[in-house]
Chains A and B, each alone.
Chain A
Amino acid sequence: MNKGDFILKAEGIYKSYRMGATDVKVLKGVDLDVKEGEYVAIVGASGSGKSTLLHILGALDRPDKGAVAFNGRDLSRYGGSELNRFRNKMVGFVFQFYHLLDELNVLENVYLPTMVLRGVFGWISCRRKAEKRALELLEQLGLGERANHKPYQLSGGERQRVAIGRALMNEPGILLADEPTGNLDSATGNGILKVFEELNQAGQTIVMVSHDERVAHRAGRIVTLTDGKIRRT
């Protein structure tokens, strides 16, 4: 695939939720193309469906209608195990609330996706390599000294960087970030955005969701989600 090809392509995405007796239509025909190496920010008001769209792009959720293609292949045609592999290998998620496993230390949290990828027996053979890669990522993210700490011993910014490390562990094609600075103060948030910029400069495709225009402006391209549709690209 050449730089400039679409790595992710969403066409006519519809999604609604049942809330009591009401059917809330969140996405009403969203079209979105993401090229390889792009850094796209999806902005919109709270409840506009940004996170829902991101979850659909990352195959955490299925659209009611429409299709998402990754590297030209329709995700709806993926079987259960293919979807699991897609979530594990092709995309990396960064959540607003970090979502680290409290009982694992920083290093374990980072190499967890490789453990899942390799399985019990595969993990035995690749453990050293995976630990080395996880430590490199942590060094890169400025957390080399924190590898054996538990998540509760870290600040918010540090936790988010661990989450980024975990998302990057299996070298995914695309990084999906849902309000990655939403739970951080301005200075710490800037640090995270700087990490994203560096990753993007290194060639990482990133799709980030934010309600904050200033955060979104750090991305290469901004798309705005209003009333369930992309208004401006």
Chain B
Amino acid sequence: MKRRIAYFAVFAVALCVFIVFVVMTVMTGLVRDFRRKNHRFTGDCIVSTESLVGFTHYEDFMKILEQQEFVEGVSAAIKSYALVTPRGAEENYGLEMMGIDPALHSIATGFGLTLHHRKDDVAKAFAPVYDPNLPGFVVGIDRWLERGPEGKYPYHSRPDRRALAVTCFPLTAKGALAKVGAGLVNTKTFYFSDTSHSGLARVDTSMIYLSFEEAQMLCGMGEPVKRANAIHIKFKPDVKLERGCERVASLWRNFKQEKADQKYADLLERVTVQSWKNNRRVFIAAMEKEQTMMTVMFVLVGITTVFIVFVVCYMIISHKSKDIGILKSIGVSNANVMLLFFGFAFLVGFLGSAIGTVGGWQFLVHINGIEKWLYDRFEFQPLWDRTIFAIDEIPNTIDYKVLGIIVLSAIAACLAGALLPCRKAAKQRPVEILQVSQL
């Protein structure tokens, strides 16, 4: 280990471990954070239809769910699209609209946690603090406030009094326009009540939340029979996701059979029961794919480590041929020669991993500080421009399982890299080495 090349090998392994540790921690953190936000947005399970018409008898099914011992919270939702016109403005824009009961929805999902002004009084989410009697709306934060370069929002101590006219196209249960000949649309003015910061870029830029009843009315889903688009469900903490979803699916199948002969029962056919993972798969899968690709890239880094250690061991063994001959002449066995060089490779892997881990750990602990310093000093945000990306802080929570895998992989890579040179060393015949050395 006193040879300089051994230090290079340790440094190379340390560098590989450092890079993999830091990037995997950040990447794993991002994926974990993204999954957590999606879970928080959806709840554990969702009974929903993609049709804007929605489905009937949702209240009956909610009652059944509320009676189940494994269910903690249930919340129906209206999901549609709305044309939004700020009061006094000429222009309008389209948004996704969600009608919810804020108290129920905060039990079934993490909606309450995303609020700012009404965080501690979720039931009044749609009651503006300046006039609780006005119909209020909650809007995705990126639609309302401009995020600063540090990822912070310029919240006002009291919400402003801006109002929006929300326009929807009400649909009949058959999917036809409900107000043909009567202007086609339903419009109502709502007043800003709060912002919702879900951390999901798409939701925070394009979502407006209204009270369930108002949204149902705007979409024409309150008559002649009440309809909703989704039921969000939260399970009790000890209930496994798959098992809970299976039980809900079973309940839904029975419920659907019971209602088969009732009016609009065909709408129930389009309803699916999904876990939050399946429901949000479209969004999560892309990120998971990135993580998989990153892992593949790091396998290539691992192969590079194997090659580096192979070259180093090969060079050392080439330089140490004479010593191997000497050791064999005093009775060291082939197995011990192999062990000796495997020990060297293990030491390279172990020291490299230790240095890389300590370095990576320190870097991760200070990563947000470093980024802040770079921005303060040079206005440089190397990873994500916070005015564009919905990422508050660079994730730096150490995942010990990932770290363990990285360290073990690095040591295994070193041992793999040393395998062929070790075999070569063990197979050397002392008499040939010592004779050649003498020459």
- Give Cα A7 to B230, complex, Å: 96
- Type the 1/0 row for B351-370, where 1 means its CB is closer than 8 Å to any CB of A: 00000000000000000000
Chain B residues 112 to 136 lying within 8 A of chain A, measured CB to CB, are none
- Type the 1/0 row for B318-361, where 1 means its CB is closer than 8 Å to any CB of A: 00001101111111111010000000000000000000000000
**Are A88's CB and B331's CB within 8 A?**
yes
Q: Known contacts being A55-B431, A95-B438, is A101 close to B332, with CB within 8 Å?
A: no
- Give Cα A222 to B329, complex, Å: 25
- The stretch that binds B, out of A77-85, A135-143, A196-204, is A77-85
**Are A87's CB and B331's CB within 8 A?**
yes
Contact among B323, B328, B331, B437 with A85 in the assembled complex (CB-CB below 8 Å): B331
- Give Cα A202 to B122, complex, Å: 100
A93 lies within 8 A of chain B by Cβ: yes
B residues near A60, Cβ cutoff 8 Å: 328-329, 430-431, 434
Q: Known contacts being A96-B438, A97-B438, A101-B323, is A87 close to B330, with CB within 8 Å?
A: yes
**Are A80's CB and B430's CB within 8 A?**
no
Nearest A residue (CB) for B430: A60
Output the least CB separation between A53 and chain B (Å): 12
A residues near B430, Cβ cutoff 8 Å: 60
- The stretch that binds B, out of A33-41, A68-76, A112-120, A225-233, is A112-120
B4 lies within 8 A of chain A by Cβ: no
Contact among B327, B336, B437 with A97 in the assembled complex (CB-CB below 8 Å): B437
B67 lies within 8 A of chain A by Cβ: no
**Are A51's CB and B331's CB within 8 A?**
no
Q: Known contacts being A95-B438, A97-B438, A103-B2, is A61 close to B329, with CB within 8 Å?
A: no
- Give Cα A112 to B326, complex, Å: 11
A166 lies within 8 A of chain B by Cβ: yes
Q: Known contacts being A96-B438, A99-B437, is A84 close to B333, with CB within 8 Å?
A: yes
Chain A residues 143 to 190 lying within 8 A of chain B, measured CB to CB, are 166
B435 lies within 8 A of chain A by Cβ: yes
A50 lies within 8 A of chain B by Cβ: no
Nearest B residue (CB) for A101: B323
Interface size class of B (residues with CB under 8 A): 20 to 34
**Are A117's CB and B331's CB within 8 A?**
yes
B residues near A102, Cβ cutoff 8 Å: 323
A89 lies within 8 A of chain B by Cβ: yes
Nearest A residue (CB) for B326: A99
Output the least CB separation between B295 and chain A (Å): 38
Output the least CB separation between B415 and chain A (Å): 19
B residues near A89, Cβ cutoff 8 Å: 331
Contact among B2, B326, B330, B334 with A80 in the assembled complex (CB-CB below 8 Å): B334
**Are A51's CB and B330's CB within 8 A?**
no
B residues near A81, Cβ cutoff 8 Å: 333
Output the least CB separation between B340 and chain A (Å): 11
B residues near A84, Cβ cutoff 8 Å: 331-333
Chain B residues 422 to 439 lying within 8 A of chain A, measured CB to CB, are 429-431, 434-435, 437-438
- Give Cα A99 to B332, complex, Å: 15
Nearest A residue (CB) for B332: A116
A residues near B332, Cβ cutoff 8 Å: 84, 116
Nearest A residue (CB) for B1: A103
- Give Cα A112 to B329, complex, Å: 12
- Give Cα A138 to B333, complex, Å: 27
Output the least CB separation between A215 and chain B (Å): 17
Nearest B residue (CB) for A104: B323
A residues near B323, Cβ cutoff 8 Å: 101-102
A residues near B336, Cβ cutoff 8 Å: 116
Chain B residues 292 to 337 lying within 8 A of chain A, measured CB to CB, are 322-323, 325-334, 336
Output the least CB separation between B331 and chain A (Å): 3
A residues near B429, Cβ cutoff 8 Å: 61
**Are B329's CB and A87's CB within 8 A?**
yes
A residues near B431, Cβ cutoff 8 Å: 55, 60-61
- Give Cα A166 to B330, complex, Å: 9
- Type the 1/0 row for A53-67, where 1 means its CB is closer than 8 Å to any CB of B: 001001011000000
B residues near A85, Cβ cutoff 8 Å: 331
Output the least CB separation between A182 and chain B (Å): 9
A residues near B325, Cβ cutoff 8 Å: 99
- Give Cα A93 to B431, complex, Å: 12
Contact among A58, A96, A103, A116 with B327 in the assembled complex (CB-CB below 8 Å): A116
Q: Known contacts being A51-B435, A60-B430, A61-B431, is A99 close to B322, with CB within 8 Å?
A: yes
**Are A113's CB and B334's CB within 8 A?**
no
A residues near B334, Cβ cutoff 8 Å: 80
- Give Cα A93 to B429, complex, Å: 16
- Give Cα A119 to B222, complex, Å: 86
Output the least CB separation between A102 and chain B (Å): 8
A residues near B329, Cβ cutoff 8 Å: 58, 60, 87, 93, 99
Nearest B residue (CB) for A114: B330
Output the least CB separation between A151 and chain B (Å): 11
- Type the 1/0 row for B400-439, where 1 means its CB is closer than 8 Å to any CB of A: 0000000000000000000000000000011100110110
Nearest B residue (CB) for A119: B336
Nearest 6 CB-CB pairings of A with B: A88-B331, A87-B331, A61-B431, A84-B331, A60-B431, A113-B330
B residues in contact (CB < 8 Å) with A: 2, 322-323, 325-334, 336, 429-431, 434-435, 437-438
A residues in contact (CB < 8 Å) with B: 51, 55, 58, 60-61, 80-81, 84-89, 93, 95-97, 99-103, 112-113, 116-117, 166
| 9 chain-A/chain-B pairs, Cβ below 8 angstroms | A55-B431, A84-B332, A93-B329, A97-B437, A99-B434, A100-B326, A101-B326, A101-B327, A116-B327
Extra 13 A-B pairs, beta carbons < 8 Å, given A99-B322, A99-B325? A60-B328, A60-B434, A81-B333, A87-B328, A87-B330, A95-B434, A99-B326, A99-B434, A99-B437, A103-B2, A112-B330, A116-B327, A166-B330
